[in-house]
Structure 1
Amino acid sequence: MEKLNYIFILLALFAEIIGTIGGFGSSVFFVPIGNFYFDFYSVLGLTAIFHLSSNISKIMLFKKGIDKKLLINIGIPAVLFVIVGGVLSKYLNTLVLEVFLALFLIALSLLFLVKKDLIIRSTKKNAITGGVLSGFSAGLLGTGGAIRGLTMAAFNLEKSVFIATSAFIDFFIDLVRSVVYYKNGYIHQHDLIYVPFLLIIGILGTYIGKRILKHIPQNKFKRISLFLILLIGVVTLSNIFIQRV
């Protein structure tokens, strides 16, 4: 137990709570946080395992709100392209892609925060495109929930439907990429000491997040999500800079 980093465990709980409130999952915070404590590939392996329990909890707590049409239009391409991203992660230099992802999230969230009346068309094509990009990013960089969140925001879903649908898609993404990451050798024996704690955090953080979410009015939910996505982009970019200094 002396090898455990308890600050990391507390930060992981924070990531799960905020990820539940935002509706796009904890990996968008967990991956940048994890990169401060582990190598990039260990973070990918831990994220996939952590997310499995996290998303099972969300599905159980928000199961009445799943949007089946979005589940198909976003979920199927996301699962297919998480395989592509997971395989490529073993061969590509991810620095440029990490920077691009951070800048993309910052720019897009600021655009929606400033242009409050701007609307992305809620079309099948846009849903599929969002699924492809979020799945590929999840496999390659460990996080794709924010991209999926931005896509789903175009459909103006009620918050419980948003969270349940996103969690269901994420569950299948994590299940598939766990297999890919295991074959890539990203799930390391020395990191498994954290797994029991992360499984508990996945359940506890989801429960706390749901309790907090009850006090957030629907009209403020989308704006809070966009602020969180902006923060994710800033944290990711800052983490990249700190690691290279």
Structure 2
Amino acid sequence: MIVEVVLLFFGTIFAFWLSAICGGGASLILIPILNLLLPASVVPFSLTIGTFTSSVSRIAVFKKHINWKIFFWFVPFSIPAVLIGAYLIKYINPNYLQLIVAFFLIANVPQLFKKVKNDETDEKASPKYVLAIIGFLAGFVSGITGAIGLLFNRFYLKFGLKKEEIVATRAANEVFLHLIKLVIYISLGLYSNLALWLGLAIAVATIISSYTVKYILPYLSENLFRKIGYGAMVVAGITLLIGTSDKIIQQDKLGVTIAKSESIISWRSTDFVIEFAFDDGLEIERPIHPKELPNHLKTKYDSLKDHYDVIHLEKVFTFRNEPSYEFYCYKDNQLTKFES
């Protein structure tokens, strides 16, 4: 345990150095370490203690660089949104939102090859309501997924903020979100004594990281800072895409089977069959319940079900044609197919 805690402590310092330079991503380093020490359900609690402390310490170090215009438009809209997101986590599978976030992050690839002058945008050119929208989205995504840093890093870069301004303004914007999440985790019982102590260890390490990173930033040019930020977003997007895709495949039993001219996509308890034939073109078939049949075909189904052991129904979609239906009727393991 001691070795793991020491590893966590120094890993935290390194992770939040990278987070300050790249605009986020500390959790990608810390989560695997915390998973070795804690149940998955209380890992967010320890992480949030660290991110909250990191934001507070960065505000203390870089407070004179905070862009207050962005702060006053960002925070009021992000706070109610994080509450909504935390509430909706009961009903929304966060894996699918994370998948969307992954594609959004990967979409920053072209930014790696643009010249600096194309990336810089005068913040006065953007209307104030854009700040409100970004704040709301940041809070909502944070409430559901627990992380926002890298996702909205591009927003700060596009507003033409200098590297110290980005570090300071992000910290000021996010400190309230982290505090609200801590309250939510405690109210839901998603914490433990060990998680608290590990979170405090992370907090101490983040303070050290925040006070030492100010000596690193002056050695980075604005161009290099931006490129590292965009590069971190792309790498995080690829990592998130791989991890989230694997979770979706396992949880929703997503699979693809290819045989001859058919491709069968399985999702949860449903199979979508994609079939291509030179005569009929591309077809997509979906299993359906008898209740989904049109009235005139329900009569046909009722007349057939007394003569067969099992009847499987499929709805067939073809380009520029009305949907059709197929009846797969089995009796004594012999198949008879009807089309309508």
Does the residue aligned with 1:145 lie in a helix, a strand or coil? coil
Deviation at 1:25, TM superposition (A): 4.0
For residues 193 and 11 of structure 2, the distance between their equivalents in structure 1, rounded to whole angstroms, comes to: 22
Residue 169 of structure 2 aligns with which residue? 165
Residue 80 of structure 1 aligns with which residue? 80
CA contact (8 A) 1:20 1:163 kept: yes
For residues 123 and 146 of structure 1, the distance between their equivalents in structure 2, rounded to whole angstroms, comes to: 23
> Which letter does structure 2 place at the counterpart of 1:65?
H
CA contact (8 A) 2:48 2:182 kept: yes
- C-alpha distance after superposition, 1:151-205 (max 9, x if no partner): 1222101211121111011111111121122212222334223122101111122
For residues 14 and 29 of structure 1, the distance between their equivalents in structure 2, rounded to whole angstroms, comes to: 12
- C-alpha distance after superposition, 1:58-108 (max 9, x if no partner): 00110101111100112221222111112222443222112221221111x
Residues 147 and 73 (structure 1), Cα distance of their counterparts in 2 relative to 1, 3 Å cut: farther
Does residue 228 of the first structure (1) align with residue 227 of the second (2)? no
Worse-superposed segment, 57-66 or 114-123: 114-123
Residues 209 and 175 (structure 1), Cα distance of their counterparts in 2 relative to 1, 3 Å cut: same
Alignment of 1:200-215 (within 5 A): 200-215=204-219
Worse-superposed segment, 5-14 or 180-189: 5-14
For residues 14 and 74 of structure 1, the distance between their equivalents in structure 2, rounded to whole angstroms, comes to: 28
- Richer in helix (by share): 1
Does the residue aligned with 1:92 lie in a helix, a strand or coil? coil
Residues 99 and 40 (structure 1), Cα distance of their counterparts in 2 relative to 1, 3 Å cut: farther
Residue 191 of structure 2 aligns with which residue? 187
TM-score, length-scaled by structure 1 = 0.86
CA contact (8 A) 2:58 2:167 kept: yes
Deviation at 1:131, TM superposition (A): 1.2
Alignment of 1:1-245 (within 5 A): 1-2=1-2, 4=4, 6-22=6-22, 24-27=23-26, 29=28, 33=32, 37=36, 40-107=40-107, 109-116=108-115, 117=118, 122-240=126-244
Larger Rg: 2
Does the residue aligned with 2:190 lie in a helix, a strand or coil? coil
Residues 199 and 29 (structure 1), Cα distance of their counterparts in 2 relative to 1, 3 Å cut: same
For residues 92 and 42 of structure 1, the distance between their equivalents in structure 2, rounded to whole angstroms, comes to: 20
For residues 216 and 50 of structure 2, the distance between their equivalents in structure 1, rounded to whole angstroms, comes to: 21
Structure possessing the higher relative contact order (Cα contacts under 8 Å, 6 or more residues apart): 1
> Which letter does structure 1 place at the counterpart of 2:110?
L
For residues 88 and 27 of structure 1, the distance between their equivalents in structure 2, rounded to whole angstroms, comes to: 25
- C-alpha distance after superposition, 1:126-156 (max 9, x if no partner): 2222211211111111111223322122210
Q: What is the number of residues matched between the two proteins? A: 243
Residues 134 and 122 (structure 1), Cα distance of their counterparts in 2 relative to 1, 3 Å cut: same
Residues 26 and 54 (structure 1), Cα distance of their counterparts in 2 relative to 1, 3 Å cut: farther
Does the residue aligned with 1:147 lie in a helix, a strand or coil? coil
Residues 118 and 52 (structure 1), Cα distance of their counterparts in 2 relative to 1, 3 Å cut: closer
Deviation at 1:229, TM superposition (A): 1.4
Deviation at 1:19, TM superposition (A): 0.7
CA contact (8 A) 2:42 2:191 kept: yes
Residues 209 and 12 (structure 1), Cα distance of their counterparts in 2 relative to 1, 3 Å cut: same
Residues 59 and 71 (structure 1), Cα distance of their counterparts in 2 relative to 1, 3 Å cut: same
RMSD: 2.6
CA contact (8 A) 1:27 1:47 kept: no
Structure 2 portions without partners, runs of 5+:
251-340
Identity level (%): 25
- Richer in strand (by share): 2
